[in-house]
Amino acid sequence: MKSSEWLRSKKMTIQQMLQYVIDKKASDLHLVAGARPLVRIDGELIAIPTESELTENMAMTLLSGVMSPEQKQLFEVNKEMDFSFAFGGLARFRANGYYQKSSIAASFRLIATVIPTIEELGLPKVCHQFATLKQGFVLVTGPTGQGKSTTLAAILDEINSLRQVHIVTIEDPIEFVYKPRKALISQRELHSDTHSWDLALKAVLREDPDVVLIGEMRDYETISAALTIAETGHLVFATLHTGSSVQTIDRIVDVFPDKHQSQIRLMLAENLESVFSQRLLPKKAGGRVVAYEVMIGTTAIKSAIRESRTQMISNIIQTSAEYGMVTLENSLAKLVNCGAVDMEVALTYAENPEELTRLCVVK
């Protein structure tokens, strides 16, 4: 079907589909040739009722409707493209265009224009402490789509409202847009503002930052740079696709050659302030709620990292509630016991189902 024929068929435009995402409080929109357009609501993929399967021409027309000429050119060359855009004054979307089976597809993630607060997200009070740190390394971890970017945005916006500092973000692409209050904020997007992660991370120390956000630690180079920036007296926030504090520390150490791993453990022990691992669970009443594990860089944690005894970290977290540490099972049990989440749902997210069962009050 040609583009002109499709438009006459009165199918939804990309703008109408994005508005549908907003109206239905969905988190994502998926466009794949050969399938109906799908939205993700409370973690579940649901077809847009009025729409039939997309042809390749339809998918191309929809994606082109939100791309600049430069982005279209890059997409044609690279076969994939990350970008973000404002949708009027209502929202922003992070998009990824890609090819599958030699045809075009795209995913769009809804980003609110108003950054939620730590309280509105249901995050623990310890997250306020992260906003007061002068230096160190704070990691927010979890699988894709579990709210890591939103958590970091809430913490950075609290810094923005409280402190006269220079915040530099390096993102691919820019998601939340910060309105300067007390802080000066420089947001750098890959391709638009810098040619590579490597160049941006090397340059950031010459930009007089106090706080640095690294959108994602993807490889050896970005992890190494993040540790170096933290070690030089800056406050660094970053994300990693790991499920727990132990997995996070092991992943960071293992990415380095064997001969450097003892040095990396020492750097982590000296600079790691916290690992905050999170999941989004479907609520009984609809919507989603956050469950989390919190590890704080206490003396005991630093010793375990330095001495390569990460197997002890889970026990340290379990016995260190006075420092703000929380196990995932305690967080899940709290949600079950207050009636927010079904026990069956919580069990699917637990790392230690037996411990979760012990902590839950059976009614």
Mean pLDDT of 27-45: 95
pLDDT at 5: 41
Mean pLDDT of 264-285: 96
Query: Residue holding tokens 């630690």?
Result: 217
pLDDT at 362: 59
Distance between CA 175 and CA 178 in Å, rounded? 10
Q: Are 86 and 210 members of one domain?
A: no
CA angle 113, 177, 290 (to 5 degrees): 65
Q: Classify residue 4 by burial, with Cβ atoms within 10 Å: 0-12, 13-18, 19+.
A: exposed
Lookup: tokens for 363: 């009614």
Mean pLDDT of 7-31: 87
* Cross-strand partners of 277: 141, 293
Distance between CA 340 and CA 238 in Å, rounded? 29
- Report in angstroms the alpha-carbon separations of 311 from 137, 269, 290, 328: 21, 15, 25, 16
Nearest to 251 by CA among 237, 232, 271, 268: 268
Instruction: Report H helices in 131-213.
Output: 148-162, 197-204
Q: Are 145 and 283 members of one domain?
A: yes
Q: Are 108 and 184 members of one domain?
A: no
pLDDT reading at 275 higher than 90: yes
The predicted-structure confidence for 167-179, as pLDDT tens digits, reads as follows: 999 998 999 999 9
Domain span at residue 208?
Answer: 126-326
Mean pLDDT of 79-97: 91
Q: Are 142 and 247 members of one domain?
A: yes
Eight-state DSSP code of residue 338: T
Q: Are 151 and 269 members of one domain?
A: yes
| CATH number of the domain that residue 268 is part of | 3.40.50.300
The predicted-structure confidence for 300-317, as pLDDT tens digits, reads as follows: 999 999 999 999 999 999
Mean pLDDT of 108-131: 95
pLDDT at 57: 92
Of the three residues 78, 112, 146, the one that is the final residue of a domain is: 112
pLDDT at 137: 97
The number of distinct structural domains making up the chain is 2
Mean pLDDT of 226-249: 96
